[in-house]
Every structure is written in C-alpha cells, then in structure tokens.
Amino acid sequence: MSQNTREVRHPLLHPVVLLVVIGLILGVVFFFANMPTALAVTAYLVVGMTIVLTGIDMLRELKAGHWGLDILAVVAMVATLAVEEYLAGLIIALMLTGGEALEDMAAGRASRQLDALIMRKPTFAHVLDVDGVTVHRVSIDEVQVGDQLVVRGSEVVPVDGQLSSDYASLDESSVTGESLPVTKHSGQDIISGTINGTGTFHMIATSTAADSHYSKIVQLVEEAVSSRAPMVRLADRYAVPFTIVSLIVAGVAWWYSGDPVRFAEVLVVATPCPLLIGAPVSFMGGMSSAARANVIIKDGGTLERLAKIKSAAFDKTGTLTRGEPTVARVEPVKGTAHETLQMAASAEQYSVHVFADPIVNYARSENVEPVGIADAEEIATNGVTATTEVGEQLRVGKSAFIAEVVPAFTETELRAGETAVYVARDQELLGIIVLSDPLRQTSTATLNWLADHGVEDMVMVTGDMRGTALAVAKEVQFSADQVHASMTPTDKVYIVQKLPAPTLMVGDGINDAPILATADVGIAMGARGATAASESADAVITSENFSRLADVVHISRRTVAIAMQSMWFGMAVSIGLMTIAAFGYLPATIGALLQEVVDIVAIVVALRALRLYRNLPSATLRSASTEVSNIKSAT
C-alpha cells in the first residue's frame, strides 16, 4: 500500500487482513471437508480481491517511481489460481496483507506534527484606541501596521513591533533560544511569539500577523514537512534483483518440466514474506527499545535514516545546556557569602522573576535560612525591595537598580553566558550572585561518542550571542569554526542544509521547529512537555538525559543490522526452497506452509530488536561524565 495513505492500526484490525484471515480459515475447512467448489469460490473472492487492491497500489507506486516486491506476490497468487492451488493462494494473500499491515505500524508517521505549534500561535491582540485610553480586543488578523497595542502580563506578543513603553521584560527562550529574560527599552524591536513578564507594556505594530516572525516559523515548518520525500521501504531495495531471479527460476522450471504447476510451486516459496515482514518487525522492536530508553520514535523510517547519520547540528540552550539558570557562585563584597545568599533568598521569595527560584532553591540546598520579611515589593525588570522584621532595607536586582542606593561600586566581571544579581542592605553592597545556564552532564561525552561512531561533522547553532556560545563550545570541545551564533530560525535551516547528508538536528524550542523538520532526522529534547519542537521532530527524548541521543543512534544502527539479517536469512532460505521446488519435490501447499515456517523464524530473528534497550552506551557515558565532574570539583 502507498505509505502516504496508510492508516496506522493493529494488523488484525486492518479490514483486508481480517477478511483474508476469515477466508483462509474457511479455505482450510473446505479443503479438509472435500468441498472443492466452495474452496475455489472463497479463493477467487479473497485472493482476487487481494490481487486487485495490491495491483492498484502497485500502479500508484510505479507512477511515483517506486518498484516494490508486491509484483512477485501478485504473480504468485495469479499462478496459484490458474493451477488450482487455492489454499496456497490464500496463504500467500495472508502473508502479503499481514506484512503490509505490520509495516503500517512500523512506518506510520505522526499525523499531528504541527498541532502544538499552530495552537500556540496568538489569536488576538489588545488595541489601544486613538483616545489613548480605551482598549479593545480584536482578532490578530485585524491588527494593522502602526496600531498601538497593549500587551498584558504573561501574554504572548501577537505581532512584531516596537516598544513604546519605557521598558519591558520578555522571555525569548521559545523563539531565540536565549534562556535568560531580556529587558527591552523604548524604541527597541519586539519579536512576536515571545512572552511578556509580569508588567503591562505598550508597543507599535510593525507587521501584520501574516508577516510576523512567528508566522514565518510556522510556514517554514509546514514547507519542510511537506517537502520531505516518503521513506522507501527497506525491503523494496532488493525487489528488482529478487523478483528477476525468482521469475527466471520459475520460468526455467516450467520450461524444463513442461508443467505449469511447477511455475506456481516455485513462486509460492519465492514469495518474499520474510522481506515484507522481517524489516517491519525489526523496526517495531527498535522503536519499542527506544521507548524503553526514553526516546519516542514517530516512524520506522526515522530509525533507518538515523543509522546513516553523517553530520549533526545542536542547539545550545535547553539542548547542550539545561535551559534553566542556576547559581554559579556567590561573590561577597561587604558581607559574607552566607549573608549575601541569605538576604537575596529572603527578598526573592516575594519575586516572580526567573532568577528568583534558582536563588531561593540554592539557598535551601546550602541550608541557609531566610530572615523574616515585614514587607516586599517587586520593581518590574529591576529587582525586589524588602524590609526585614528588624528594619533592614534590602535591594536585590540588576546593577543599575542597586546603584540608586549604593552610588560607588564596580560591576563584577562575567564570563560568557553568565548574569549577575546584586544584593544590597542599608545602602551597602553585601555581594553578588552570579547565575549561569550549565552544560548538561553528559553533553561532552555524548558528542565524543558520536564523533567516535561515524558522525563526521558537528556544529552548534544558537540564537545566543557568540561569546556565550563559545564558552559552551569550549566545554564540549567544539572549535570556533563549529559555532554558529546569533542565528534566526531561517539561518539555522540554511546551516543544516549545507551539512553533508544525512543530517541530524537536536533542539528543544519553537525556534528549532523549522530546522528539526528540515533535517533528515530531527530529535527534540522534550522532557518539559509538548512543544513545537517535539511536534515537528522525528523523535523526542522524554528525559533530561542528553546521552539518550547516543542510545537512540546505537539502537537505530542495531535495528537496521537486525532487519538486514532477517531479510538475508529469508532470501537465502527462499532461494533454497525455490531450488527444491524447481525439481518438483515441493508441492505448492506444502511450500506455502514451509514459507510460513520461514516467516516465523524470520520474525524471531527480527524480534531481537526488542532487547536493544539493554547495555546501552548511556550507562558508560553517565559514568564517565560523573568521573570527569568529580575531578573538576576536586581541582
């Protein structure tokens, strides 16, 4: 059947398979009850229907330029009807339709790849009237360039625009990949799809919804998915030579014996059911093993493409790094590190800023107890002011905010990817808390594993600044030439298209959706829930363990190897049986039954893929990463 129109369902629920099973059961009953007419009618109805349906699909595939193994099965079924080997024909029909149904399960592509991305798209906007007072809600399609818009706290920015308020704090992580909130000032550009902080701001629309940055991302994903060619069945690559050999052997046997039944007897055992069934079963086993390793594979073709990967691109934030800020260090100034952390955590308990939770959680992990707070107030995009129960005045926030009460102090020097939170008490700078987005524990070990296992070209593509990207690149042992920073989603697509195929892309944010769909294999870090990246990717790692990437590459390669072993076994046995049948020692019905035995053995061989989740490379990589971390901590 055509892969573009297949519906994924359990094989026994497939209507054609169900009909053939019923026909075969009736055929066996009629055969042993010595009812040749009923057997013939059943065979002509069931086998004839299978021939017609398979023939229609064959014509569709041939028009698309695909040559499949189905032609050999069709010739065999026609031959069994012609020489009145009805039971053999019914068995072949079951093998053919059952194999296709199994393939449907192994190769079915997810049908709702873009749902999350499209559903997240803004649908409305708040427009400020010309009177400068009245605000009314409109459909996003009604927004015109130049409209004054009001964006409330936690809302998604509806269209691209220019900030007209004094400032705004935006979470751009889902669009640019930047993990830390970005403060925008009056006159600066704002990207659609980003999320506002807690404060309301005004902006001027500079694009319509159709021309906005976010809409272009959606369009890129749709175009990339629709342009990707369907995966050719693994077994189909052996269709032409196997078909030619089988027809030649059957034809020579007929010519030599002068008996047309000999032609049917050869083709019955030549029916390539191990090829039709072995590969899909292997891929189902591989997909199951991947799921046991916390990687969801959306279709069987992904495993085959992933087994051949030659180049790979990686997002930084949320992929190589954890995608969430953590406290890197505490730098005391006028106070101790304990005092700095204690006062910061005490005030940050009353903040909703992205830095608040990391600071509070770090204080708890260090067993630092907060002091009592009489009152607190968050100053949007600046920090928090608080008064302790003993009357001390606290300020926690950015340098400019602290400079209002501590006139003379020098900002700390930061490494790439870091940001600083300053802590003041009663007009005195207690200290500085430096936050960073740390590397995932197994990132370096996993990238090294990929390099050692045939992935020749690897690059980092990120929307972050180059300095931040280079700092991470140094940690994962990437050279400067392997780093592509300040990338837009479109830029990332172009970078991946230039890499040697087949290509792999690993990412996690909305900004990665186009490139995940464009790459030959897109894998999303989806542990934090359903995102556009997860929906447009071919596979999703459902844990925060980056070394699962090595696991799924290992599983894919072993799966393809097992599928090939299953198919070669089936072809070798089929050729042996053809030789026996060519000399007249294998009646058609017995041959069909023997072929079923071959199918069972081929399936058993293929089912070894179910155990591939054992002895995965991630265990070794985690152990090596832990050892490296311990050495770094000791030094």
CB 174 within 8 A of CB 510: yes
Token pair, residue 316, equals 């930084």
Identify which of 287, 290, 283 has the alpha carbon closest to the alpha carbon of residue 543. Answer: 290
Q: Annotate 69-102 with DSSP letters as a single string.
A: THHHHHHHHHHHHHTT-HHHHHHHHHHHHHHHHH
In angstroms and rounded to an integer, the radius of gyration of the C-alpha atoms of the chain is: 32
Beta bridge partners of 397: 383, 422
CB 146 within 8 A of CB 128: no
SS3 call for 8: coil
CB 74 within 8 A of CB 58: yes
Distance between CA atoms of 251 and 242, rounded to whole angstroms? 14
CB atoms within 10 A of CB 419: 17
CB 159 within 8 A of CB 192: yes
SS3 call for 488: coil
Residue 274: enclosing H or E segment and its boundaries?
helix 273-292
Cα 602 versus chain centre, distance: 30
Identify which of 478, 444, 442 has the alpha carbon closest to the alpha carbon of residue 460. Answer: 478
Helices 273-292 & 548-582, crossing angle to 10 degrees? 160
Pairing mode of beta strands 311-314, 457-461: parallel
Amino acid of residue 534? S
Distance between CA atoms of 542 and 431, rounded to whole angstroms? 39
| 391 contact partners, CB below 8 Å, separation of at least 6 | 374
Say if residue 373 is exposed, middle or buried (CB neighbours under 10 Å; 0-12, 13-18, 19+). middle
Q: Where are the alpha helices (DSSP H) in 583-616?
A: 588-606
**In the 3-class helix/strand/coil scheme, how is 370-412 assigned residue by residue?**
CCCEEEEEEECCCEEEEEECCCCEEEEECHHHHHCCCCCCCCC
Beta bridge partners of 204: 148, 162
Identify which of 261, 252, 279 has the alpha carbon closest to the alpha carbon of residue 68. Answer: 279
CB 96 within 8 A of CB 73: yes
Largest CA distance in the chain: 110
Identify which of 526, 525, 543, 623 has the alpha carbon closest to the alpha carbon of residue 314. Answer: 525
Amino acid of residue 187? G
Rounded to 5 degrees, what are φ and ψ at 112? -120, 50
Token pair, residue 448, equals 């090294």
Pairing mode of beta strands 295-297, 539-541: antiparallel
Catalytic-labelled residue, pool 70, 104, 299, 315: 315
Cis upstream peptide for 502 (omega within 30°): yes
Residue 129: active-site member? no
Q: Which are the catalytic amino acids?
A: 315
